[in-house]
Amino acid sequence: MEHMSLEQKETQVKSYFQNVIMGYLACDIHTLLNSELDAKREGGCTAPLAMTVFSAMNQLGYLTSRKNTDEIVKEARTEECIKEFCNDWMKRVDPENYRKSTIQEIMVSFFRHGLAHQFISIALSGITRDPKQGALISVYTNHDGSKSYVLQAKLLAQDFIKALDLLDKKIHTAKENDPDFLLRFYQRLYEQRQKHLNNNQSLFQKADRNFPTMANKLGTYTTKTSTPIISGEVSITKDGSLDFSE
């Protein structure tokens, strides 16, 4: 990896961002933003929309944060990574909401954690995509005096797409204007993939023994996937390349 030039690393970062983030991720979000889903109570994909955004904020907060704390670099803690993405990118879209630490904490603790572990937000909170709710987070008073918090998932997703556009511009100018940003992004992406490969060597071996390999004569994948398949043997462990194209 160290022998790679800045230009080569820039190519790898751009490939990842264009194929994985602006390709698979952004296209999935645009599909989930379809206004025909707004009127549905069930089947409106409100939870998948919010969870997709939170997952992406987690990943991109880790890759782009300027902090070198253990919480970011070694552990990639969800709370810290999402807060970093809010502070660095989301607040450029809407500083009134995303700069507030309380809103950041509510998004993670009430909504992201609930969605990740039980599909729905935790008690006394809910998620909507109803266009009539214009606030990112609305607070309602219940009959017993308790408060309920409702996240507007569609607004969150629309703001996230705008933040992606800002990040896209940053990546395409980083080599000239902020090379440290580019190197940090590449380094963390590389280490993330390498950690996954190293931690799962025994599982890879078990999988090789238990599942048939579906390949054509050229040894390439024979089925289309809705997410990219990343090769670790050649593109990561041998030359540091991160090939995210299909």
- Can you list the pairs that 3-9 forms with residues at least 24 positions away whose Cβ atoms lie under 8 Å? 3/240, 4/239, 4/240, 4/241, 6/175, 6/179, 6/182, 6/183, 7/175, 8/241, 9/182, 9/183, 9/186
- 238 inside domain: no
pLDDT of residue 233: 35
- 227 inside domain: no
Give, for all 246 residues of the chain, the pLDDT tens digit.
567 899 999 999 999 999 999 999 999 999 999 988 888 888 889 999 999 999 999 999 999 998 888 778 777 889 899 999 999 999 999 999 999 999 999 999 999 999 999 998 887 889 999 988 899 999 999 899 888 999 999 999 999 999 999 999 999 999 999 999 999 999 999 998 888 888 888 888 888 778 776 555 444 444 455 655 444 333 333 344 555 544
> Rounded to the nearest 5 degrees, what angle is found at the Cα of 111, between the Cα atoms of 109 and 113?
60
Show the domain range for 140.
6-210
- 243 inside domain: no
Q: Which two tokens stand for residue 28?
A: 């999935």
- 145 inside domain: yes
If you write DSSP's letter for every residue of 111-125 in order, what string do you get? Answer: IIHHHHHHSSPPTTE
pLDDT of residue 21: 96
pLDDT of residue 239: 43
Residue 124 · residue 135 · CB < 8 Å: no
- 47 inside domain: yes
- 37 inside domain: yes
What domain count does the chain have? 1
- 245 inside domain: no
Residue 25 · residue 52 · CB < 8 Å: yes
- 222 inside domain: no
**DSSP structure class, residue 127:** E
Residue 153 · residue 49 · CB < 8 Å: yes
